[in-house]
A and B are shown apart, each in its own frame.
Chain A
């Protein structure tokens, strides 16, 4: 897989995991207020080792917590109130479920409750999604929960350049709490990454492929799948798909999404979380509300059917919102 990015002058090709590690390295070096609570950003993926030099270099900036998610997420919030900029690395996203009271009911409400006087700039980083053999408790995709919790920013990068740019912005510039969600299977993805201190402010969607016939709004790993689907549809059906990547769900760049929808009039929304009240549903509702007059077909969602993710490979495969399902959804629009 490789993602095309309209690149500024100087870039190098990096894996997603390498760009992520580079971001963590720079963040620690540039801002002494940053502290890491856990630091296994690359999980059990084949590229896990790329974090090793970074964690060695910045060992004094890392605390390795006991298995106490609720407490250490709350500690991160408190540390942020007192002037640090903590990044919590939670590993598998489902472990964050243990910490929901601190993330959703504390971190998210602090700024609103104080009229903006008190801020909690924490990053909660986690690895979500169907990773292969994770079974029902290690394949979770909680992005819709966070998006449904006002006060949290939600980042879902799809490319090496975006993970670096978004993480740098969240850790160094943001004043609010962020849930930063990387898909487990993106770690090996290669793509160009601008040299230097590449940063992407939240709330800027990116058109990853231009096309005039159909819009696919895709998050995170779904961008790669949508680009593959777009290439196939161009080749086999002559359909030109535009792929719009919101990059952050909150804040959401509605203007870029609406402009594409108004151009094509046909929309598929896709996210690797569950269909029922999921991210795809939320995006579809926003588009329907604002662009109904421009739509020439009902909006289609491509997401995980509403069943817990099973372990067996055959069952898991049946649930993944893959390229095949995206191609079928686009064809069904015609």
Chain B
């Protein structure tokens, strides 16, 4: 893989990580007033999939959207401003953390209702196909969406109408040992393997280790060709392992902020995140891989991290300095 692309992957994943860590700080200071959801641990999936998309392809996401918007090219300042409800946010602070979207980046609307975005994504794909366009639509959603009836209705319809739609399902509570596997029934899903389900509808599927950014990128690039050529939808299951800070509705920085030096020695991560850092952290794993292959050295890695941290510091300042929206912002939208 080309080194420029590799460095782009690393930077994007780090950018997401640092923005998400900043959210926890914002929650501690009360800037985020209610519960919220972070993308830590899934950075490789959003980054790899988005890198395979053309800039004008459509993306749909969920309550766990921050990383998807950044991966599609979202400005961290506008993302953070939206997350804390400021006028400088992508939606002027009207949507907030659950609803970050960026119409100018092909992310027109973000639903925080489980399954809420999926049929809308199919509708966008429907419109593209009717107009004989080439734009693809990729819908990120969680394994929880497969508990809702709307998933099955949308899958059926998308296949019947051969819509140019990628169902990108993020199964984010797989154990490290099981990531390469296909799954087993849980208390939420009777299906043995979730990726078997779409096949009953004739939809082609693939599973991928969602902590491997290059694998996700390669897969999505390949399947997009099929989708664009009119062969109908494709279903991906990206398998990741839950970051220890992500349990419950209020994330916690259990091991402090990520120290990029863990890429040199993952075992030096603190107790609360050591096992996860060693086995399941997509950012640290990728930095370690680039070090190992000699694509970068330790000094270059530190420099990239410092650059990204500086960028996210500026973004956070932009967000905090951005004024609260005024009541006039409500006019004309009833």
Contact = CB atoms under 8 A, between A and B. Distances in A.
Whether chain B is bound by chain A comes out as yes
Interface of A: 44, 64, 66-71, 94-95, 97-98, 131-138, 305-308, 310-315, 318-319
B146 to A, nearest CB: 9
Contacts of A68: 147-149
The 5 closest A-B pairs by CB, nearest first: A311-B96, A133-B34, A312-B85, A133-B33, A312-B93
Given A133-B96, A134-B34, A312 B325 contact: yes
Contact of B330 (A70, A94, A307): A307
Q: Which of B33, B93, B96, B334 has the most CB of A within 10 A?
A: B96
20 contacts: A68-B147, A70-B149, A133-B96, A135-B96, A135-B112, A136-B94, A136-B95, A136-B99, A137-B116, A138-B112, A311-B85, A311-B96, A311-B97, A311-B99, A312-B87, A313-B33, A314-B324, A314-B326, A315-B325, A318-B327
Contact of A311 (B94, B114, B327): B94
Given A71-B149, A315-B327, A307 B33 contact: no
B303 to A, nearest CB: 36
Contacts of B114: 67
B86 interface: yes
B93 A311 contact: yes
A312 B189 contact: no
Given A71-B149, A138-B98, A133 B85 contact: yes
Contacts of B97: 135, 311
B329 interface: yes
A71 B325 CA distance: 40
Contacts of A95: 113
A224 B235 CA distance: 51
Contact of B325 (A44, A137, A314): A314
Contacts of B85: 133, 311-315
Given A133-B33, A135-B96, 12 more contacts: A66-B189, A67-B148, A68-B148, A68-B149, A70-B149, A133-B32, A137-B99, A137-B111, A307-B330, A310-B329, A311-B95, A311-B98
B149 A135 contact: no
A315 B94 contact: yes
A135 B144 contact: no
* Chain A contact residues, majority secondary structure: loop
Q: Which of B85, B92, B326, B329 has the most CB of A within 10 A?
A: B85
B153 to A, nearest CB: 11
B200 interface: no
A126 to B, nearest CB: 14
A137 B110 CA distance: 11
A137 B325 CA distance: 19
Contacts of A310: 93-95, 325, 329-330
B188 A67 contact: yes
Contacts, number: 104
Given A314-B325, A314-B327, A64 B111 contact: no
Interface of B: 32-35, 85-87, 92-99, 111-116, 144-145, 147-149, 187-189, 249, 324-327, 329-330, 333-334
A68 to B, nearest CB: 5
A323 to B, nearest CB: 18
A68 B334 CA distance: 30
A70 B333 CA distance: 30
Given A137-B111, A315-B93, A307 B189 contact: no
A137 B188 contact: no
Nearest to B116: A137
B263 to A, nearest CB: 35
Nearest to A318: B327
Given A133-B33, A306-B334, A307-B334, A312 B94 contact: yes
B325 A94 contact: no
Contacts of B334: 305-307
Contacts of B145: 67
A95 B149 CA distance: 13
A64 B93 contact: no
Contacts of A66: 147, 187-189
A41 to B, nearest CB: 16
A44 B35 contact: yes
Q: Which of A44, A132, A310, A311 has the most CB of B within 10 A?
A: A311
A64 B116 CA distance: 21
A94 B95 CA distance: 16
Contacts of A135: 95-99, 112
Contacts of A132: 33-34
Given A132-B33, A310-B330, A314-B326, A44 B112 contact: no
Q: Which of B32, B333, B334 has the most CB of A within 10 A?
A: B334
Contacts of A97: 113
Q: Which of A68, A305, A314, A319 has the most CB of B within 10 A?
A: A314
B149 A137 contact: no
Nearest to B33: A133
Given A137-B113, A306-B334, A312-B86, A98 B148 contact: yes
